[in-house]
Amino acid sequence: PNPAARLRTTLATGYMLRLLLALATADALLLLAPRRLASRRAGLASMTLEISPPDGFVWGVNLDEGSPPPPSPPPSAALLFDCDGVLVETEELHRVAYNMAFEEFGLQIAGAPVVWSKEYYSFLANTVGGGKPKMRYHFTGLGAPEGARTHQDTAKAWPAPTARGGAVPADEAAGMALVDELQDFKTECYKQLVTKAGPRPGVLALMDSAIDAPGIAVGICSASTRGGFEKVVDAVVGQERLARLDVVIAGDDVSRKKPHPEIYNVAAQRLGLSSADCVVVEDSIVGLRAAKAANMRCVITYTPETQAEDFYAEGADAKLLDFSSGVEVGALFSPEGAVLPELLPGVRDPRP
């Protein structure tokens, strides 16, 4: 070939190498970019690399199918949902699962079987957060917040697991070992029951409205163990919606259960927000106390079992049965992403 042809070949080869290097760099960026740096709202960005050697050659590579979008701006506020009782009415399923575990182990106290009634479980749900703490409280009377109400059905005695050939636990260490076994079995029962559960009215529409709102982070903070929690969110929230959330915390992820504020403090820290910028949706006194102890605003969606509780006296910013009236994110946050001074005006239950 003549010198000019050799030069064109050399230039074309050089540009091909540059093209391959650009493609490799783009692939590396896709692999290294943290998922949450990608905007959940912007979708996939379009990137075009043009390498234009002499003589009219144009190498255009469209990376629409996978290039990372620019990082999302940090959120200005957050909407945090409890799970059980808020996303789905699961409290009765929990009660049934506990009683299934008690029956499986043949739990007896003074010759009588251990069974939690609806009324007593409602008391427990509004007194102690988390499954193991509930059982510990029932069997010992320990673990409730100072000044909490008491109930005549609280056993304050360790049970004998008669179906497992076991004796009454000799001390708290042995008792808590039994509680661990009961909780494991109860979780498996609950996972089977919860697959048929459906969302509470309007709650997923509110969640979607918040996900689509610029500057609003959205998360779930549940006191449930991850095994049971994952079944709920898979069945009710769905993987596609779950992947768009900014923070998800289960009871296993924190050392102190509600009403301690740790779970909500951790959520705010992970989002880089102050507590004043967060709104929590809860359904129980225990959850409300956790939110208020974290200095967050709190909306209560009560259930038939908890509607008699005086949520406003405990500091709730708003309470209502559910979101079936079509509540959207604009009833909680301003267009600029700030928490409104008054939550759910015209929708919430009136204060006494």
Marked catalytic residue, from 27, 55, 64, 82: 82
Distance CA 316, CA 352 (A): 13
DSSP string, 56-116: T--EEEE-TTTPPPPBPPPPSEEEEE-SBTTTB--HHHHHHHHHHHHHHHTEEETTEE---
Q: How many CB atoms lie within 10 A of CB 15?
A: 16
Neighbouring residues of 73: CB distance < 8 A, sequence distance ≥ 6: 215
How would you write 154-168 as a 3-class SS string? CCCCCCEEHHHCCCC
How many angstroms separate the CA atoms of 209 and 20, rounded?
42
**For residue 280, what are the contacts with CB-CB under 8 A and spacing of at least 6?**
80, 81, 82, 221, 264, 287, 291, 294, 296, 297, 298, 299
Q: Within 10 A of 58 (CB to CB), how many other CB atoms are there? A: 8
Using an 8 Å Cβ cutoff, are 75 and 337 in contact? yes
CA gap 297, 219 in Å, rounded? 15
Helices (H), the chain: 3-32, 91-105, 118-125, 131-140, 172-194, 203-212, 226-232, 239-242, 262-271, 285-293
**Marked catalytic residue, from 27, 55, 64, 84:** 84
* Residue 84 annotated among the catalytic residues of the structure: yes
Calculate the alpha carbon distances from 145 to 70, 81, 200, 290 in Å: 46, 23, 29, 11
Q: How far is residue 331 from each of residues 3, 50, 223, 325, 349, measured CA to CA in Å?
A: 73, 47, 26, 12, 14
Active site residues: 82, 84
